[in-house]
Chain A
């Protein structure tokens, strides 16, 4: 029996010719990742295990992005703990303030993940790298601490759900709308313990930035990973960034899928996930009565150059609506620099937005834009749980960069067609 992309990568990393859903295996990790919130607990676990060195100092990435630049004294202590650990064990891929950005933006940008890799991160959005044709999934800090010591991880082979996107895109529809729509179809638990394989003519046209948005949110329906087959778009992206040889993994024609979901993209308009769940999805036209206080453009979901370009293109020559605060956080220093060079940052500032340092910022209610009780935010991020971005009585609406920009100008949830 044939194998899916996920099964093939797991087999190749565990010394097996063939694996099937339900198999437990011990896999070799190509890249292990942690951030300033999850690393401190992982470091404690690593020290408890008592090894003298990490499994491979080139294959661990530590990115301070959640509460950095340090938001308070306890955060400063946690960031220091990670920095000291990186120095002590000569971790090559530690990104200090100035080099750091959102972890899942930084790793692909630096060429640290390529097709065929197996990446494990102590962050649930580690599934982002499925966009590169890699198997990647999130774990907790204990798993990560053990991986830093051994380079190995125990995994159960997940059944794969194949999602086939077909048809032509409506105006302003992008990867974010596709994944939000799929979350609405599957529900927040619809792919629990499963792999998602994104395929079909509609997504083969998508840029890497948009594919990363889609893979990033696979976790929001409980999926272990969300993977694309690597193609020319992937290989062109990777060859400028990594000297390693990519391994393009394709599903066998007789691969077995848990189920197949067909989505006609031409029927999808820009989507909005209403509070308080990423699967509470409705078309943008149903959001017209929702007045907003804040717009956040950024995060591991939508903080990449194309995202900023789309939003700025819509806001050019326009002003942010009175009473609305617009916060833009470029996902990395490189993106920030390129956005300056292309005039994107100037457009945002002229429109009345503020620009913050590359980091996770308000997405998880850390800092740089926390909401008060009763406030509403249109956000390009990935979660709108109760209290996610601040006060438990605040509300988050998940949208694409285009809808975020339109909403910023309108002062309410709205479509780019309205401005």
Chain B
């Protein structure tokens, strides 16, 4: 299953306070959260993001607070996949749990620039930078995580176990 979109590029150590500042956490409505994504760091993000766009980050993406509101806001804003050099542990877990695909590839991130057109295959982990004509292979997803994604998120996975 390949996803194609335009890239929004971010740096290293993007923490969940920056993704969604706590002043917006007094609600849990996904649409309201999405409208506040990156409100302070990149105020143009929530208005400019198009359905299917791809978010690219550096090392330790999603560090800090465990707030699931962060991946929820990114997903609801329309981002189809996050590609980063590495993810913070809780953010990684949360993303799978809510069905937001994420891929790890240092090489791909170093090649990709803002506004590049990129495609990513969530099953094979192949990432293609169409703008630059380069291919990359993401780190494989653990089997258990793939089962969770195939079930449609952790809730569906648990329901099937019942």
Contacts and interface: CB of A to CB of B under 8 A. Distances in A.
A277 B40 contact: no
Contact of B86 (A149, A150, A189): A189
25 contacts: A24-B144, A37-B25, A38-B66, A38-B67, A44-B28, A49-B155, A50-B159, A74-B26, A78-B26, A139-B90, A139-B93, A140-B71, A142-B98, A142-B154, A142-B155, A189-B60, A192-B60, A222-B60, A222-B88, A365-B23, A383-B64, A385-B15, A385-B17, A387-B21, A387-B40
A304 to B, nearest CB: 21
B97 interface: yes
Contacts of B13: 188-189, 277
A388 interface: yes
Contact of A192 (B21, B23, B88, B97): B88
Contacts of A122: 66, 68
A135 interface: no
Contacts of A139: 66, 90, 93-94
Contact of A143 (B21, B63, B71, B154): B154
A155 B98 CA distance: 17
Given A41-B28, A48-B155, A124-B90, A140 B64 contact: no
A74 B27 contact: yes
Contact of A386 (B17, B72, B88, B153): B17
Contacts, number: 127
A349 B111 CA distance: 57
Interface of A: 24, 37-38, 40-41, 44-45, 48-50, 66-67, 71-72, 74-75, 78, 122-124, 126, 138-143, 145-146, 149-150, 154, 156, 188-189, 192-193, 219, 222, 224, 277, 364-366, 383, 385-388, 392
Interface of B: 13, 15, 17-18, 21-23, 25-28, 40-41, 59-60, 63-69, 71-72, 86, 88-90, 93-94, 97-98, 142, 144, 153-155, 158-159
Nearest to A386: B18
B25 to A, nearest CB: 5
A140 B67 contact: yes
A158 to B, nearest CB: 9
A124 B64 contact: yes
A253 B80 CA distance: 47
Contacts of B142: 24, 156
A224 B17 CA distance: 19
Nearest to B144: A24
A143 B66 CA distance: 11
Contacts of A71: 26
B86 A140 contact: no
B28 A40 contact: yes
A146 B22 contact: no
A261 B154 CA distance: 37
A41 B26 contact: no
A18 B158 CA distance: 26
B145 to A, nearest CB: 9
Given A142-B155, A222-B89, A41 B60 contact: no
Contacts of A149: 158
A138 B40 contact: no
B47 to A, nearest CB: 18
Nearest to B97: A142
B71 to A, nearest CB: 8
B26 A75 contact: yes
Nearest to A392: B40
A385 B155 contact: no
B60 A188 contact: yes
Contact of B22 (A126, A140, A222, A365): A365
A143 B40 contact: no
B66 A140 contact: yes
Contacts of B71: 140
